[in-house]
Amino acid sequence: MRIPCPRCQSFVVPGAQSCAWCGASLLQEATPGSADPVCAVHPELRSLHACGRCGSFACARCLRKGARDEPLCAACHDRVPADALPWDRRDELGTPRAYWQTCVAVMLRPTATFERARPVGSVGSSLGFAALSNLAASFTTALVYLAILLAIPSAMTEGDNVSAHGLRLVGLGVFGAMMVMAPVMGMLVALINAALDHVVFRMDGTGQPFEVTLRANALSMSPYLMGLIPFCGIYGAPLWALGLRIFAYRSMHRTTWGTAVLGALAVPLLSCGLLFAGYAVVAVVGAATGFGK
């Protein structure tokens, strides 16, 4: 939200007490009997802007810059920290607890959570969240498959030139490889998806840095926590995450619903379109050449 200077109409930053362009003081005395709004804390001063959260009029002395660059009165600024996500308080809460609380907040209260979240986060923090999400998505299902494999009676493998002990070792090896590859691939996919989505935002004229897109993309993976329910969460979570990505992009990129939908869905829809087009070309070519007959 932009605040114009009362004298030159250039935009000023919340918290400044003088205009950076014309040098005029933003602390202006109120005129008795005037209809101009006055500061709720300093009634002798004219209000420069209303608080973006509570709506109270505030003078330049009382305005603050919020986490999303919105103007806040001093009371609201001090009441609500800019760093409200549990994931950003891992040192205080511990990583497992911070991850759990963040996932629950994102899944159950996406609008409020993303509105209060700090838009920019480090690349390592975002990739760490993506890694944990993909690990949670695959752990329980892979564990169930391993348990089924270990439970196969030795008699069932006799006569197939397969050692029950060797089969179980292979199962353990595959499980270990999945537990390593799942978070690594999750981070790689998050980077690629965020980069492609960020290209869409850039083409639309959105000026937020890449770290915002990556953080929103990673946090939208919170439903992957449902992967702890075997065979259920791992298949339904990606669709839930795609819907949450729209909420995340809208709030953290400070953009419209239309732009958020475009940023979240353009690449998946284009990928599906290219995939179906490829299948169609192969089918037409196969029918024309008689391939497979």
State yes or no: pLDDT of 157 exceeds 80: no
DSSP state, residue 83: -
168: Cα separation from own chain's centroid: 39
State yes or no: pLDDT of 216 exceeds 90: yes
Going by pLDDT thresholds of 50, 70 and 90, the confidence category of residue 164 is low
What global pTM score does this model have?
Answer: 0.68
Going by pLDDT thresholds of 50, 70 and 90, the confidence category of residue 68 is low
Going by pLDDT thresholds of 50, 70 and 90, the confidence category of residue 183 is very high
Q: Which of 59-63, 93-97, 146-150 has the lowest mean pLDDT?
A: 146-150
- Decide which of 233 and 262 is more confident: 262
State yes or no: pLDDT of 181 exceeds 70: yes
Going by pLDDT thresholds of 50, 70 and 90, the confidence category of residue 290 is low
